Structure 1
């Protein structure tokens, strides 16, 4: 299944940078970065559950926001690009 992950991690404190990097690294392990805090992921239901659990354990629930959008079909079929198109493929699901 294709999932779009977006996040907004609070970075008012110096120590927040570590959490921001961990969230970015988690998302990068499951998908492709298409904007600074936006990742396109092709995952299995099991790997989506694992990603979600890892993100839940990482964020500050009072200050951060992560949104996961699931697509019924391919994320490529659902998107329209205006401007420069990035050269990448979302890929196949990872089986972990």
Structure 2
């Protein structure tokens, strides 16, 4: 299923900047960055729960925000893109 992960981390302090880097680093392990604080992730239920738990432990719930949008398995008709970079197809193998 495709999960859209969006976050807003308060970076007014060095601790906030550290949290922001940690969140981004974890998200890169699970999906593809499509905007600065938005990742598209193709996950099974176990991976989704794991990612959610990891990110929930990193953020400061009083000043940060974390959102998960479950687009399911039939997400291709639900995502439209206009503009600069479309990115990669997250469900296909990457060959370098």
Normalised to the residue count of structure 2, the TM-score between the two structures is: 0.88
Equivalent residues of 2:3, 2:68 under 8 A apart:
yes
How many residues are matched?
92
Looking at structure 1, the residues matched to 49 and 72 of structure 2 have their Cα atoms a distance apart, in angstroms, of 17
Separation (CA, whole Å) in 2 of partners of 1:66 and 1:90: 21
CA RMSD of aligned residues (A): 1.4
In structure 2, list runs of 5 or more residues that go unmatched: none
Deviation at 1:32, TM superposition (A): 0.2
The answer to whether the 8 A contact 1:3-1:75 is kept is: no
Given that 2:34 and 2:87 are in contact with CA atoms closer than 8 Å, whether structure 1 keeps it comes out as no
Which residue pairs with 2:54 in the alignment? 54
Partner of 1:73: 73
CA-to-aligned-CA distance 1:12-44 (integer Å, 9 cap, x gap): 112211110000011111000000000000000
